[in-house]
Homo-oligomer: A and B are copies of this chain.
Amino acid sequence: MEFYYGVDMGGTTIKMGRFDREGTLLEKWEIPTRKEDGGKHIFDDIAEAILTRTAAAGGSVDSIKAVGIDIPGTIWEDGYLELSVNVGLKDIYPTEELSRRLNHVPVACGNDASIAALGEYWKGGGAGHRSMVLITLGTGVGGGIVLDGKVIAGAHGIGGEIGHLPVRFGEQEVCNCGNRGCLEQVSSATGIVRETKRTLVSSDQPSSLREIRNLTAKDVLDAAKAGDALAKSVMDTVTHYLGVAMGIVSNIVDPEVFVIGGGVSAAGQDLIEWIREAYDANMYMTKKRADVQLAQLGNDAGIYGSVRLVLPE
């Protein structure tokens, strides 16, 4: 029996999957992320879960062939994790921590956004393409780049940080990163709500959104799809800056396809059409351009991407 595990570490839960050597998902589950004590229990918990599930499936320690893991933080090229604010880990080599708790099986590690991109490239919205850029529109804007099957993590762990491309000049508010005018400030779920509130204040245009007390990005997307002109004008702004960023990414790595994921992408095909238009309007160098697709794996992208790091070719 040969099992491969994919582990997707988040701030609240750790998602885990058991796979066979062909990459078929055999079972998946999650455990809570114990962030207390500087995250010192996290690797014990992961190792214990893997050992338990292996035994329950009738396997032994020798059945555990390899484990891939992603972490929300900057992983250096040599595997060093400087800091993961979300899970409380710092100053460790995650692969060593996990490997020595699992009879020294091979372990590989990557940044969560990059590894989600690898998952989508392999089994999701990027399948069948040679190069792909994932853009996740959630609380923030994340990104991951996969070229010829390889994640572009970067020499200092900031490859694919698309959320922090400077696209909106004149923005006065400061982004979490310290800059002003980052893509994340306008095209994340948070950004959509902020942009809507600004527009509601600055205009007298009637809108169904004026009735809603705790406005969410979903409210704005629903209203825009239903034909609310103010909501649509907000989404025009949101997708315009996304289109600028996609034009920039195309002029640097020029992928075959962009895959759009994250909570905002639940808006579906309407959103994809708006994004395609905005991207087209921001491509000047060639008439040939990348396709734009929805992500397909949802919350499973991380376990698929993680296990892909360690599966045999």
Cβ-neighbour of A158 out of B147, B162, B251, B256 (below 8 A): B251
Contact A159 B254 (CB under 8 A): yes
| Residue A157 is within 8 A (CB to CB) of chain B in the complex | yes
> Which of A22-30, A93-101, A102-110, A241-249 makes up part of the contact surface?
A241-249
Contact B290 A253 (CB under 8 A): no
> Which of A148-156, A271-279, A297-305 makes up part of the contact surface?
A148-156
Cβ-neighbour of A155 out of B77, B158, B248, B290 (below 8 A): B290
Contact B254 A158 (CB under 8 A): yes
| Residue A201 is within 8 A (CB to CB) of chain B in the complex | no
Q: Which residues of B contact A254 (CB under 8 A)?
A: 152-159, 161
| Residue A79 is within 8 A (CB to CB) of chain B in the complex | no
Q: A248-B166, A286-B74 are in contact. Are A253 and B179 (CB under 8 A)?
A: no
Q: A166-B244, A170-B169, A290-B155 are in contact. Are A178 and B252 (CB under 8 A)?
A: no
| Residue A160 is within 8 A (CB to CB) of chain B in the complex | yes
Contact B289 A159 (CB under 8 A): no
Interface residue tally of chain A, by bracket? 35 or more
Q: Which residues of B contact A154 (CB under 8 A)?
A: 131, 250, 253-255
| Residue A285 is within 8 A (CB to CB) of chain B in the complex | yes
| Residue A145 is within 8 A (CB to CB) of chain B in the complex | yes
A74 to B250, CA, bound (A): 14
CB proximity to B under 8 Å, residues A156-191: 156-162, 164-166, 169-170, 175, 177-179
Contact B252 A253 (CB under 8 A): yes
Residue among A152, A155, A250 with max Cβ neighbours from chain B (10 Å): A155
Contact A251 B165 (CB under 8 A): yes
Residue of B with least CB distance to A178: B284
| Residue A130 is within 8 A (CB to CB) of chain B in the complex | yes
Q: Which residues of B contact A282 (CB under 8 A)?
A: 166
Q: Which residues of B contact A161 (CB under 8 A)?
A: 251-252, 254, 285
